[in-house]
Amino acid sequence: MNPQDNRAIVNMLIFPIAPIVVIPVLSVLCQDMWHAAHYTPGEDGGEVEPAMALVMIPLLLIILAVVLSAITALNRWIARRFAPGNWWRIVVGVPRVLLAGVSLLLFSVSVGFFMGDVTAIGHWQIVCAWIAWLIVVTTFVGQQYRRLTE
């Protein structure tokens, strides 16, 4: 396996796999808090929010990861073939930043939902959830910054 393949695997582990793994882990870790805060048995839609956070948001993250990787591939192909100027970096960078922002927002909403009360720092589960969120967000932002500057 050459170094380029290793880098592709690591990039795939950063996004979308890391957020998709963290979401269900935090749902199990913080289940008592989000269940008490959000779930009302028998209420219409009481099952919708967890399903959205566990199923739909990871699916959207996968779709956004495919679009971001397509932008990266297009950028590399255009850069090798035509050697465009800074205008091309702006054309590619703006949608990348917007898609990365949407991805971070979706991930944060899902994780925040499972935390229940995100300000309850007294609970060790919330502290662990914030640490997991921070690790995923930091690595994702670093990955996207490297892509913007290459």
Q: Which 8-state DSSP code applies to residue 49?
A: H
- Give the Å distances, CA to CA, from 3 to 9, 65, 82, 95: 10, 21, 25, 28
The predicted-structure confidence for 82-136, as pLDDT tens digits, reads as follows 878 778 888 888 998 999 999 999 999 888 888 777 677 778 888 888 899 999 9
CB 128 within 8 A of CB 33: no
pLDDT tens for each residue of 19-71 = 889 999 988 888 887 776 666 666 666 667 778 888 899 999 999 989 988 88
Separation CA 86–CA 65 (nearest Å):
24
What amino acid is encoded at 117 in this protein?
D
